[in-house]
Chain A
Amino acid sequence: MTRDESITLAHGSGGRLMHDLIERVVVRALANPVLETLDDAADISSLVEPGRLAVTTDSFVVQPLFFPGGDIGTLAVAGTVNDLAMKGARPVALTLGLIAEEGLPLVDLERALRSVAETARAAGVVIAAGDTKVVERGGLGGLILNTAGIGFVPDGVELGGDRVREGDVMIVSGTMGDHETAILVAREAFRIDETIESDCAPLHEVARLILETAPDTRAMRDPTRGGLATTLNELSSRSGVGIEIDESAVPVRDDVRSVTDILGFDPLYMANEGKVVAVVPESDAGRVVEALRGHRLGRDAAVIGRAAGEPGVTLRTKVGGARPLLMLEGVQLPRIC
């Protein structure tokens, strides 16, 4: 297999070409003893830990495949690791389903797989099983990945969106809107001289830090599609308490703010891929923020509001006004009005 090659339908047909692809490209990139047995199913009993078993899955269809700060491979691992971490689980293993489009350059596949491997290593998870398919050219954007992940929730850790109580404090681990802004710019939907980096990152350490500092943490969420506002609405709705957010307290990077100002977007509705919203008892808030700020992924951590009042999310604005912060309906579109 030469470096110039791209994926063809033959690579998905089950024959020699596909076996070569799997062994020499996929498994080589993801190198680990579990995967290398290449049986139809993997025995992962060696990975079992004490605690309650948690499982999650996600598919990744990001365009472009590669962007500043990450790529589809980074996202595929971080996204699933983060879903487990938000539940309080220690992630241990992932499966990787990959669907390649005819015509995808092999170097792109390898690059994405390298990111999968690196991110998995960083997150301390094993890619235990996988699948490879090839589809005809047309509309897939080159590559789609799916990961399912399992982890173990230690005894005593009870997190859930329905556990938020009046008086609890909302904390974000950092700036809002970075990932979606990075993607917009990477897609050249919006041309600027600078690059904007996605915040894509596995959050297992951040989650553990929060739980160690505040064992009574009520819930953690990673505000992905729909952004912070959507996540807060979900929390309010699940728990039946209102949430009040202080607009001036929500951290937003200058470059992200400038892009959203020009497009007429609201960073509160834009996706993040490396941030946590944590709901903790008031007495723990200060220490959680301090602990987060000591971690490289939590430097801009801040208290942004608290649970109070009737269900629904209210924003206290920069001039002291109050208005509802609704869930996102549909996609934000650039406006000139």
Chain B
Amino acid sequence: MCLAVPGLVREVDGLRAKVDFGGITREVELSLLPDTQVDDYVLVHAGYAIEKVDRESALETMKLFREMAEAVDKERSS
């Protein structure tokens, strides 16, 4: 019930921002994320930024995909 799309903040003007969603730029409200800065990634739902997307965490999650994909049970109870 929560379609939210990540985008890169290009400009901030008070509680509004211009966000780049990869090929398109849209105006986004920052009332729910007032500390947003240029160059942050944000998740946008219904025209509002609802959370920052953390770069380090994103990379970490991708690494975890790799770890999980390569994990093998060393001991398996039969």
Q: Which residues of A does B touch, CB under 8 Å?
A: 191-194, 196, 253-259, 261-262, 264, 335-337
Contacts and interface: CB of A to CB of B under 8 A. Distances in A.
Contacts of A255: 22-24
Nearest to A334: B3
B25 interface: yes
A259 to B, nearest CB: 6
B63 interface: no
Interface string B1-33: 111010000000000001001111111000000
Nearest to B18: A193
Contacts of B23: 194, 253-258
Nearest to B27: A191
Contacts of B2: 336-337
Contact of B24 (A259, A335, A336, A337): A259
Contacts of B26: 191-193, 262
Contacts, number: 45
A257 B18 CA distance: 18
B25 A194 contact: yes
B45 interface: yes
B3 A335 contact: yes
B3 A258 contact: no
B53 interface: no
Nearest to B47: A336
A337 B22 CA distance: 21
A196 B44 CA distance: 21
B46 interface: yes
A257 B22 contact: yes
Interface residue range, chain B = 10 to 19
Interface in B31-60: 44-46
B45 A192 contact: no
Contacts of A261: 5, 21
Shortest 8 CB-CB contacts between residues of A and residues of B: A255-B23, A254-B23, A337-B1, A193-B25, A258-B21, A192-B24, A258-B24, A336-B46
Contacts of A335: 3
Most chain A CB atoms below 10 A, which of B3, B21, B24, B46? B24
Nearest to A193: B25
B22 A258 contact: yes
A193 B55 CA distance: 26
B5 A262 contact: yes
Nearest to B45: A336
A258 B44 CA distance: 12
Contacts of A259: 24
Given A192-B24, A337-B3, 17 more contacts: A194-B24, A194-B25, A254-B22, A254-B23, A255-B22, A256-B23, A258-B21, A258-B24, A261-B5, A261-B21, A262-B3, A262-B21, A262-B44, A264-B3, A335-B3, A336-B3, A336-B45
A277 to B, nearest CB: 24
Nearest to A190: B26
A254 B24 CA distance: 8
B47 to A, nearest CB: 9
A51 B25 CA distance: 51
Contacts of A336: 1-3, 45-46
B61 to A, nearest CB: 16
26 contacts: A191-B26, A192-B24, A192-B25, A192-B26, A193-B25, A194-B23, A196-B24, A255-B22, A255-B24, A256-B23, A257-B22, A257-B23, A258-B22, A258-B23, A259-B24, A262-B3, A262-B5, A262-B21, A262-B44, A264-B3, A336-B1, A336-B2, A336-B45, A337-B1, A337-B2, A337-B3
A210 to B, nearest CB: 29
A336 B2 CA distance: 6
